[in-house]
Chains A and B, each alone.
Chain A
Amino acid sequence: MSLGIDEPASADSEPERPTVIGGSTRFVPGQSNDRVTIVNGKVQLGQRLRDLWRNRDLLVLLTRTELKVKYKESVLGYAWSMLNPALVLAIYYMIFKVISRTQQPHFAIWLFCGLIVWNLFNNSAQSSTTVVVGKAGIIKKVAFPRELLAMSTVGVAIVLFFIQVVVLIIFLAAFQLVPDWGSLWLLPLAFIALLVFTSAVSIFLSAVNVYLRDTQHLTEVALMAWFWLTPIVYPFGQLSAHLAKYHLTWLYLANPIAPIAMTFQRVIYNQTSYTNSLHAVVPLLPTYGDGWYAGMIGIVFVVSVCLFLLSLIVFGRLEGNFAEEL
């Protein structure tokens, strides 16, 4: 078999192969890479997960690109990422502290604990709806695990999350508030559960919006409702008695963001109740031990992993026609 006019010798009989430029690797066909890629109409979950892992560098890069592009050529740069959460915080603080006159001490810290959790989920879910549609150019021309586009919105949200955490730590220092060091181990667990859940939702939404463009608007409205169903501005403790009366506590806690936000409040705010001016004890959070919180997070984690796998399957199904639909 001849390969070109200037290459009469068969490639297989050629003992000396030229060194590849740009690296010291020597290319030997069939040996360097024996992995077989199969393309067919089916969704192979195992291969998807392997591809995601293999392309983890790409995830980091997509995230970095997203951030760079977002804040490039703006004078304030990353400060903009703080402006929105700061304003939200200020507004809720004004409403509840000044107008509603809540007597909860360090109300800003309480708000902050829940908001950082919510912001991560909200940022990612919101931007995931448009990420696949917006990257039509790449999707039509390059083959790569497209879930990474959705996951890059989670990556961006993580970076913004940690910027807010830094500000939160400054707040804590300023108010001289001490978190519950003994329960601190709950936070990484809650954070991981939050990431898995957010990834699942983002991957799902990014794919569905390709086919149903209503999704992005629907998501906006749904997230607003979701926010008020989560104990962020108000404490769970004020609701728990009512919920228990109608046996709806389980339903309320079925919202995966709720236990995560409550864990953050429990550990960082470090107060499960306070005494108001009438000397009545106002409950803020369940007074169970760390085990209860860990259990709740465990449930959220398991459910989130299932949702994550499910979202990958849905994404895989829908992905087949991305290049045509976009």
Chain B
Amino acid sequence: MTTAIEVRDISKQFKLYTEKQTSLKERIIKGGKMPYTPFWALRDINVEINQGETFGILGRNGCGKSTLLKCIAGILKPTTGEIRVRGSLAAMLELGAGFQPDLSGRDNIFLNGSLLGLSHAEIEKRYDAIVAFAELEDFIDNQVKFYSSGMYVRLGFAVAVNVEPDVLLVDEVLAVGDASFQRKCLDHVRKFQREGRTILVVSHSTDVMRQNCSRVMVMNHGQVITIDEPGEGIRVFLADLLGVGTLEHSESGGIEGNVLAIGAVHAEHGGSGERLHLYPGESLTITADLDSLAAVPNAMATIAIHGDDNELVFASDPDDPMCAIEVPEGGGIVRFHFPEVPLLDGTYSVSVGVRSATDTAIFDWKDQVTKFEVANPGRATGRVRLLPDISFRLRGLGHTGEVPAIGAEFAPAALPGWEESTA
């Protein structure tokens, strides 16, 4: 396998001037030296990206990922180290960078194409494809300054992808235009992948990384944290850098006038090892400590789970007889066991409550008292882990045993406990 991009010991120092002095007088007064604080945007980066690979760089704002991309593109010169790029390279750092507002779309295609390294003849050959891709046939002779922002980026994207480089650098620009254009952009990226071109994507969107990349590099403070498969890389990014996730333990507790109060709440996963996160499909156990001044014979334990964006993912049925608990005086431990957690990536918070079964009285409610994190080593995205059983048959042959008719599996009778609760 050939290496497409080889980054060797790259460091980049920026000089942060307290106040920028660029006039001769000030320089002479200061004796030619300007006070600055050195800032290392990149520190000893080493990475090899293979030909045909789609490689992602993940990191928070200011971690140096864009600086690295600019160094690879040749826009910035690294302070030390060397980068070797095999084949032609095009960088999409900003769509439509270099457009001249006063010129027509046609002129700008030629100008931008040339800036990206195409000769006049090459652009002429691709011209029709670019215009068609940008869907700007009717406006191509208008000045670009009259374009809407959507038209502007569409034209920029169309030129950039039609350059057809061996190596494409992309910086957060895949999400442009409306939904159908975005799909077109992604299709084009997929086509590049199939053709064996090398793509380097910089993003802080984990979904883009998971769906498109073969490997990701996680950066922080100008240094490489890890280079790994997307699933593991994203987990490291979320856990180490954002400082979220991990199974947390709440400390609050105590009785405040109520008969019954919830103390410490714990979350535990059923997987092996010392992981602080669980994988989709693993079991999860939430335990809550209950303190009680008197015996509460007919209490109901309830649980709710919220996602990162505070969206309710699940709340237990408050009337489900399964939730009924009998709490003796002094309390005990209530245990919620999920044999299988069908959730994908994210940090989820758990709320636990105890209410009366006979009336609407709530003994205690601990809102979002603990958290657990789900890290997905696979490539599926979204919130819920559904496991579709996919098969194929020819039309007209009727149903076979392998493919149950839609609805059969989801008939009420198939759901355990359904008949009892409705009966």
Contact = CB atoms under 8 A, between A and B. Distances in A.
A177 interface: no
A144 B72 CA distance: 13
Nearest to B81: A40
B258 interface: no
A84 interface: no
B378 to A, nearest CB: 10
A321 B77 contact: yes
Contacts of B195: 11, 17-18, 20, 27, 29
Contacts of B190: 4, 6-7
Contacts of B2: 29-30
Interface string A3-25: 11111000110100110111101
A150 to B, nearest CB: 15
A142 B116 contact: yes
B259 interface: no
A39 B82 contact: yes
Contacts of A57: 114, 118-120
Nearest to A6: B190
Nearest to A30: B2
B77 A143 contact: no
Interface string B49-60: 011111000000
Interface string B68-81: 00111111111111
A100 interface: no
Contacts of B87: 29-30, 32-35
B406 interface: no
A20 B162 CA distance: 9
A212 B51 contact: no
A68 B143 CA distance: 12
Contact of A36 (B25, B84, B93, B212): B84
B14 A324 contact: yes
Interface residues of A, number: 61
Interface stretch (B102-110, B261-269, B392-400, B409-417): B102-110
Contacts of B102: 68-69, 72-73
B24 A214 contact: yes
A36 B86 contact: yes
Interface stretch (B126-134, B285-293, B306-314, B325-333): B126-134
A73 B103 CA distance: 11
B86 A4 contact: no
B214 interface: yes
Interface stretch (A87-95, A133-141, A271-279): A133-141
Contacts of B14: 324
Interface range, B side? 35 or more
A176 interface: no
B100 A1 contact: no
Given A57-B120, A69-B103, A214 B82 contact: no
Interface centre among B93, B130, B193, B196, by most chain A C-beta atoms within 10 angstroms, is B196
Nearest to A4: B193
Nearest to B166: A33
A258 B191 CA distance: 59
A107 B166 CA distance: 60
Given A4-B193, A65-B100, A323-B70, A30 B51 contact: yes
Contact of B115 (A20, A41, A142): A142
Nearest to A317: B77
A11 B102 CA distance: 43
Given A5-B379, A35-B87, A320-B77, A29 B110 contact: no
A142 B82 contact: no
Interface in A45-100: 54-55, 57-58, 60-62, 65, 68-69, 72-73
B212 A142 contact: no
Given A14-B196, A29-B196, A57-B114, A3 B52 contact: yes
A140 B75 contact: yes
A213 interface: yes
Nearest to A143: B74
Contact of B103 (A12, A65, A321): A65
Contacts of A32: 87-88, 166
Given A1-B53, A5-B379, 6 more contacts: A4-B54, A29-B198, A32-B166, A54-B117, A320-B76, A324-B14
Interface of A: 1-7, 11-12, 14, 17-18, 20-23, 25, 27-30, 32-41, 54-55, 57-58, 60-62, 65, 68-69, 72-73, 137-144, 211-214, 218, 319-321, 323-324
17 contacts: A3-B52, A4-B212, A12-B196, A17-B194, A20-B195, A29-B52, A36-B85, A39-B77, A61-B114, A65-B103, A141-B93, A143-B74, A144-B115, A144-B117, A214-B23, A218-B24, A321-B77
Q: Which 5 A-B pairs have the closest CB atoms?
A: A22-B129, A320-B77, A141-B97, A22-B126, A11-B196
